[in-house]
Amino acid sequence: MNNNDEKVLETYRSFLLMAEIAKEEALSQRELSRRLGIALGLVNSYLKNLVAKGYVRVKNFPKNRYAYLLTPKGVTEKSRLAYQHLSYFTNLYTIARQDYAVLFRSLHAAGVEKVVFCGVDEVAEIAYLSIRGSGVELVAVMDDELAGEKFFDKPIVSLAKGLLAGNYKIVLASLKKGAALREQLLRMGVNPENIYAAGGKGREPGKAGNREQ
């Protein structure tokens, strides 16, 4: 990931945090971390930055509970970032569609017939569109937070249940949670050579080791 990509991801995470805060729920940092798929330490860092910039204020409740509220300045900034990222997601769709198409063609050429998606967000939908007609079949979709829901015609299952389905190649299909999901899969004993991601962040068919952007 280059510096520009990192900057875009940082502003996107700030936007997501402000969008959750705008709902005016009394959310803990741990709950924000769970909802957004961002590490707890990062949530704390982003919130401190937003408070320092005057976009967010902290409201104290009894028993050491806190709520985070958008300031008028924060509402304006959230709107600005929304327009900024509309353009970003238009570009994201084009690039991700190309990257996943390349990945699935490479997997098919390497003799892979079936894969499992890990992680569900807007990027997973792009991956699903890209896999159709590639010769590779999607057999399962895993996401602990969305287990029990549907992804197109596939039921979403937990990672533990999905891994029991068979020793399939796993495609990371989440922009927000990709790195965290990869680490979770490794902790669960998945061979790193069975984990793939579009755009170079993962193992490529026919090549040893992992290639990072």
Q: Model confidence over 135-176: pLDDT tens digits?
A: 999 999 999 989 999 898 899 999 999 998 888 999 999 877
- CA dist., res. 95 & res. 126, Å (int): 10
Best CA proximity match to 170, nearest among 118, 109, 104, 101: 118
Report the percentage of the chain scoring pLDDT > 70: 86
Q: Quick one: CATH architecture of 3-70?
A: Orthogonal Bundle (1.10)
Digit-coded pLDDT (tens) for 169-200: 999 998 778 889 999 999 999 999 999 998 75
- CA dist., res. 178 & res. 176, Å (int): 6
pLDDT band at 65 (very low <50, low <70, confident <90, very high): low
Where do the H-state alpha helices sit in the chain? 3-21, 29-36, 40-52, 72-109, 122-131, 159-163, 178-187
- Tell me the C-alpha to C-alpha distance, in Å, between residue 21 and each of 34, 37, 81: 14, 15, 14
Full-model pTM? 0.59
Tell me the CATH class for 99-211: alpha beta
What is the predicted pLDDT for the residue at 58?
87
What is the predicted pLDDT for the residue at 202?
43
Domain boundaries, the chain: 3-70, 99-211
Strand 195-196 versus strand 169-172 pairing type? parallel
Best CA proximity match to 183, nearest among 109, 118, 113, 112: 118
Q: Taking all residues of the chain, what is their mean pLDDT, rounded to a whole number?
A: 84
Helix, strand, coil share (%) of the chain residues, nearest 5: 55, 20, 30
Digit-coded pLDDT (tens) for 6-57: 677 788 888 889 988 888 777 788 888 888 877 888 889 999 999 999 999 9
Tell me which amino acid residue 135 is: G
